[in-house]
Amino acid sequence: MQGTWYGAEVKRVLPGSPAELAGIRQGDFILKVNGERPLDQLHFLFLASGGPCELEFRTRGGQVRRVLLDSDGGSGPGIEFSELLFDGIRTCENHCVFCFLRQLPRGLRPSLYLRDDDYRLSLLWGNFITLTNLRESDWRRIERHRMSPLRVSVHALVPDVRARLMGNPKAGRINEDLDRLVESGITVHAQIVLLRGWNDGDILDDTLEGLFRRWPAVRSCGVVPAVYTRWRKCLPSPPRDPEWSRRVLAQVTSFARGCMKKVRYPFVWAADEFYLMAGEPVPQAGWYRDFPQYENGIGLIADFRRSARIWARKRGMFQGAGAAKTPSSAAPSQPEFLVVTGKMAFPEISGLVQKYVDCEERRIKVVEVENVFFGPEVGAAGLLTGQDVAGAILSMARRGEIELSKTKGILLPDACLKEGENLFLDGLTVQDLEAIVGVKVFVLKAEASQLLDFLHGARC
C-alpha cells in the first residue's frame, strides 16, 4: 500500500506514554521515524528510544501527520504493534537435503510450511538461521545494532560439504560469514544437523575444531541428528541407529572434555536423542551449564530431572522419604487420569510418576503415543498430532484397558499445541480431541513440577 509500511500497525498505546501524549492511537500506521522507515519492532525501538524524534504516521482516517515523540524518560515510546516484523518474514533460500519441513504432507496448518530464515527471529526467539539470505544492508544493521546473540545453522565448515548439504552455493561462504560476525562482536551459538556419511566422522571433527577456534565469540555448539518422516521416500542418509549414536556421543564427549581442559567449559553438546538411541545415561544438569542449546532440544531431560528433584525437596521427599510408594507392575484396573507423551519422553515420564506418585491410589496411567502420522523415527511429544493421540486412547478402550466413561481426564503437554493456541499440527483442536474420546483434556506445561502438582492436587 503506497504511503504505508506493511505491518507497522499500532495495536495498543500505553496510557500516559509518550506515544499517547503525541496523539498516536490504536489503528494508526507508523510510517517513518526521523525520516527512516522502521523494518520491525526492534528497529522502531532503536530509532525512537533515547531522545526526541520525529514520528510520521497515518491515522485511521487516512491522514498523514508528523509529531515530536520524546521517550527519553526510559519507559520507551509506549506502542505495541500488531506484527513483530513490518516488512514480512525472511524465508529460506536453501534446499537442505535433510529439511524437516519439506517432508510434511499436505493438509497441515498453513504456518508449518513457512520456512523462515530471519535473523531477527534468531535474536528474539532463538531460531537458527543459515546467513545465506542476508543482504549487505542486513549485515550493516546487525553490526550497527549489535544484534547478539545469533543462532547459526553451520552443519559443516568445509565449504563444498555445506553447500551440498544445503543445496545452495552461498552456503560455502560460512567461514567468511562467521568471521564477519566475530569481528563485529556478535556472539554465535552454532548448530550441526548430523547426517551419516555426510558431515560426521572427520568432517565433524573439522567443524568442531573450526568453531572452537572462534571461542568465545562462538559460544556453544549443539549436535542434533537429522530426522526423517515416513513421507520422505528417498533418504539422503541412513537413519540413526544405536551403534552410530554411540560413536557420535563418544566423539562429541571427547571433544567437550578437551574444551573443558582448555577453557573450563564443554562448548559442544549432543542432543538428548543420541543418548536415548544409544542407550547411554544422560548427563546431570551441571554438565549443560547455562543450557545454551536448550531451544535445540539439548539438556531437556537433565533439566526435567532437576526440576523434579527441586519439587521433591520442597515437599520433604529426601532420598525417597515422603515420596509415593513404587507401584506394582500391574496397571491400575481403571485409570482415572491418562498422561499422554511420545516415545522419546515415555521412559522419563513413567519413571517420574512411579517415583513421586502412588499410581494405584491415584489411578494414573502414562500413555506412550506412537507417531503414526510422521512415522516411528519421530518420537518427540511436540510432534504428536491430535489424530494419533485420539487413536491411541480409543485403541486402549477397544482393548479393554480403560473405560472412557470412568476416565476423569487426559493430561496433555502444551508442546503438542501451537503456542498460544489449542491447535495440533494436523489442525485438530483440544475441543476436537475431547469430542472424539469423550474425556476432558487438561493442557499442562511440559515441566515436571506442573505434572506433579496436578497429580498431587485435589483433582486426583
Domains and CATH numbers, the chain: 10-81 (2.30.42.10), 101-298 (3.80.30), 304-455 (3.40.50)
Comparing 5 with 20, the larger pLDDT belongs to 20
Residue 435 has pLDDT above 80, yes or no: yes
In this predicted model, what pLDDT tens digit does every residue of 287-323 receive, in sequence order?
Answer: 999 999 998 889 999 999 999 999 998 887 754 444 4
pLDDT at 319 (0 to 100): 44
Helix (H, G, I), strand (E, B) or coil at 32: strand
pLDDT at 332 (0 to 100): 56
In this predicted model, what pLDDT tens digit does every residue of 330-353 receive, in sequence order?
Answer: 555 678 899 999 999 999 999 998
Judge whether 200 and 161 are in contact, CB under 8 Å. no
Cβ atoms within 10 Å of 361's Cβ, excluding its own: 12
3-state secondary structure 386-426: HHHHHHHHHHHHHCCCCCHHHCCEEEEEHHHCCCCCCECCC
Q: Place 359 in a pLDDT band, splitting at 50, 70 and 90.
A: low
In this predicted model, what pLDDT tens digit does every residue of 246-258 receive, in sequence order?
Answer: 999 999 999 999 9
Residue 4 has pLDDT above 50, yes or no: no
Q: Place 361 in a pLDDT band, splitting at 50, 70 and 90.
A: low
* Stretch among 111-125, 215-229, 356-370 having the lowest mean pLDDT: 356-370
* Stretch among 237-241, 262-266, 382-386 having the lowest mean pLDDT: 237-241
d(CA 369, CA 387): 10
Q: Place 103 in a pLDDT band, splitting at 50, 70 and 90.
A: confident
- Residues forming beta bridges with residue 409, ordered by sequence position: 337
Q: Place 356 in a pLDDT band, splitting at 50, 70 and 90.
A: confident
CB half-sphere exposure, 81, CA atoms < 13 A: 22
In this predicted model, what pLDDT tens digit does every residue of 35-61 receive, in sequence order?
Answer: 999 999 989 988 888 778 899 999 988
Q: Report the Cα 256 to chain-centroid distance in Å.
A: 23
Q: Place 1 in a pLDDT band, splitting at 50, 70 and 90.
A: very low
Mean local confidence (pLDDT), 171-178: 98
d(CA 396, CA 373): 18
Judge whether 234 and 378 are in contact, CB under 8 Å. no
Residue 2 has pLDDT above 70, yes or no: no
pLDDT at 411 (0 to 100): 95
pLDDT at 229 (0 to 100): 87
Average predicted confidence (pLDDT) for the chain: 89
pLDDT at 459 (0 to 100): 47
Cell, residue 2: 503506497
Q: Place 74 in a pLDDT band, splitting at 50, 70 and 90.
A: low
d(CA 457, CA 337): 12
Mean local confidence (pLDDT), 410-431: 89
In this predicted model, what pLDDT tens digit does every residue of 180-228 receive, in sequence order?
Answer: 999 999 999 999 999 999 999 999 999 999 999 999 999 999 999 998 8
